[in-house]
Amino acid sequence: MTLPYPKKKDPQKRTVVPTLPPAMRSRAALGLSVAAAEGRFALQHCGECGAVQYPPRDACHACLSHDLSWKDTKPYGKLLAETRIHASPDPYFRERLPWRMGSVQLKAGPVVLAHLVGVGRGDRVRVDLRLDRAGQGVMVALPEHRSDDMEDDPVLRAMGTHPKHRRVLISDATHPVTRPLIDALFAAGAAHVFAGVPEMWRRPHGLSALDGLENVSLLPLDVTDPQSLKEAASEIGGKVDILINTARHIRPGGVLGHDTTAARDEMEVNALGLMRLAQAFGPGMAGRTADGVNSAAAFVTILSAHALSPDPAYGAFNASQAAARSVAQTLRAEFAPSGLRMACVYTGPTEDEWHQPLPPPKVAPKALARAVVDGLQQGLEDIFCGDVARDLADRWRSDPGLLEREITGGGA
């Protein structure tokens, strides 16, 4: 299956109003969405008897224990039964009929209902847990062995954020990730990349890496300057399908021993800049989430993993990252009714001048670019790039108080 590049949009036609699949879930079932946001396949496991269960419950169906936790689970099984739905009262599915779904007996135990992509009754399948357009985790049964163009399937395309045929805006081309990010986006099939350049007049460092690239347009864009955002949005706002915010202002240093000048600049770029960028491009993107093959799909921002818990050596910067994370979480809620995905890419220290004295492991720009594009291809919402970020996130999830004490001293 090969997804054709869409024809030019007919400006006289009304843009399709986005509809969403059913979004309501019980509290227990939200665990699926948490796992799907990170690309994990997790089910409820009983801490007492070990039973694995689905649908999610508030007590173990085997022993009534309430000691339940979400654990990564082997996603393999067999398709028991299938159907093709031709009639649905739900507006989202009505627009996409017929719709295939079926029941899968997982090797782990439970039977799950799932969307079907490229599989039929009796097949061995691998089940992905993915976010759907409503931002909820859903099961998708796929062949055990995947082909490259499987993501072109309308089911995955409708729920995903794949860059193929999409037009991408990178907000700040001076970030070292830009060139590898452009390469990875084109490798994934992106149609065009717009790259914003702050203070274009002084020809900032890093732009030479972009010289001579096809299908890349540079444009003046400064996330601290509302006028430049307004101009950029009026120029290309209707053509941005994926926005990747790379704007970053970073200076080492904690809170004491400095004035607040650097901290103010960090807040301006990292937190308020994200806000301004979202205000300029977000509503337009949110209105175009059902706009055919190259519909608007995702708004991505890159954050330090220390947004979760600060490293005092970068205390002021991390404060701006925590603020930006909070802004992103609100944006996620505000984008939800449109189905526009808000993705956060958390990275460990990056391989650049501002982290020069730090020991490895550090995240190379190429690795960061890979994480962003992988995340888009899988439709993730929370992406952790590099060992430092993954380790930090694991520790933060298990005990944020302990993590803080480990980072700030005392952790041997």
Query: Does position 33 bind another protein by CB under 8 A?
Result: no
Stretch that binds another protein, among 28-36, 191-199, 210-218, 389-397 (CB under 8 A): 28-36
CA distance 403 to 393: 10
Query: Does position 105 bind another protein by CB under 8 A?
Result: yes
The number of C-alpha atoms within 13 Å of 364 and in the hemisphere containing its C-beta is: 4
Query: Does position 230 bind another protein by CB under 8 A?
Result: no
Report the side by side order of strands in the sheet with 42-46: 52-53, 42-46, 68-72
The number of C-alpha atoms within 13 Å of 114 and in the hemisphere containing its C-beta is: 33
Q: Which ranges of 176-225 would DSSP assign to H, the alpha helix? A: 178-187
Q: Measured from the CB atom, is 99 or 384 closer to another protein? A: 99
- How many residues touch another protein under the rule CB under 8 A: the total is 42
Query: Does position 186 bind another protein by CB under 8 A?
Result: no
- List, as one string, the DSSP characters of 254-320: -STTS-SHHHHHHIIIIIIHHHHHHHHHHHHHHTTTTSSTT---EEEEEEEGGGSS--GGGHHHHHH
Query: What's the min distance (Å) between Cβ of 61 and another protein?
Result: 8
CB atoms inside a 10 Å sphere around CB 196: 27
Question: What number of residues does the chain have?
Answer: 412
- Nearest partner of 117 among 138, 137, 88, 133, judged by Cα: 138
Query: Does position 37 bind another protein by CB under 8 A?
Result: no
Q: Measured from the CB atom, is 52 or 134 closer to another protein? A: 134
Query: Does position 325 bind another protein by CB under 8 A?
Result: no
Q: Measured from the CB atom, is 55 or 365 closer to another protein? A: 55
Residue 377 contacts residue 339 (beta carbons within 8 Å): no
- List, as one string, the DSSP characters of 78-95: EEEEEEEE---SSHHHHT
Query: Does position 52 bind another protein by CB under 8 A?
Result: no
Query: Does position 339 bind another protein by CB under 8 A?
Result: no
Beta-sheet pairing, 42-46 with 167-170: unpaired
Stretch that binds another protein, among 109-117, 167-175, 248-256, 257-265 (CB under 8 A): 109-117
Q: Measured from the CB atom, is 160 or 348 closer to another protein? A: 160
CA distance 301 to 283: 16
CA distance 365 to 355: 13
Query: Does position 59 bind another protein by CB under 8 A?
Result: no
Query: Does position 103 bind another protein by CB under 8 A?
Result: yes
Query: Does position 213 bind another protein by CB under 8 A?
Result: no
Query: Does position 128 bind another protein by CB under 8 A?
Result: no
Stretch that binds another protein, among 94-102, 217-225, 341-349, 401-409 (CB under 8 A): 94-102
Query: What's the min distance (Å) between Cβ of 298 and another protein?
Result: 20
The only residue of 3, 34, 59, 111 in contact with another protein, by rule CB under 8 A: 111
The only residue of 93, 186, 194, 335 in contact with another protein, by rule CB under 8 A: 93
Query: What's the min distance (Å) between Cβ of 76 and another protein?
Result: 15
Stretch that binds another protein, among 51-59, 170-178, 223-231, 339-347 (CB under 8 A): 51-59
Query: Does position 346 bind another protein by CB under 8 A?
Result: no
The only residue of 3, 9, 29, 207 in contact with another protein, by rule CB under 8 A: 29
Stretch that binds another protein, among 111-119, 250-258, 277-285, 366-374 (CB under 8 A): 111-119
Residue 298 contacts residue 313 (beta carbons within 8 Å): no
CA distance 21 to 247: 33
The only residue of 63, 64, 80, 187 in contact with another protein, by rule CB under 8 A: 80
Query: Does position 99 bind another protein by CB under 8 A?
Result: yes
Query: Does position 34 bind another protein by CB under 8 A?
Result: no
Query: Does position 19 bind another protein by CB under 8 A?
Result: no
Whole-angstrom CA distances from 11 to 15, 62, 193, 240, 291 are: 9, 58, 22, 16, 12
Q: Residues 6 or more apart from 162 whose CB is under 8 A from it?
A: 151, 156, 188, 189, 297, 376, 377, 379
CA distance 358 to 206: 22
Per CB under 8 A, residues contacting another protein are: 21-22, 24-26, 28-29, 32, 54-56, 61, 80-90, 92-93, 99-103, 105, 111-115, 121, 132, 134, 136, 138-139
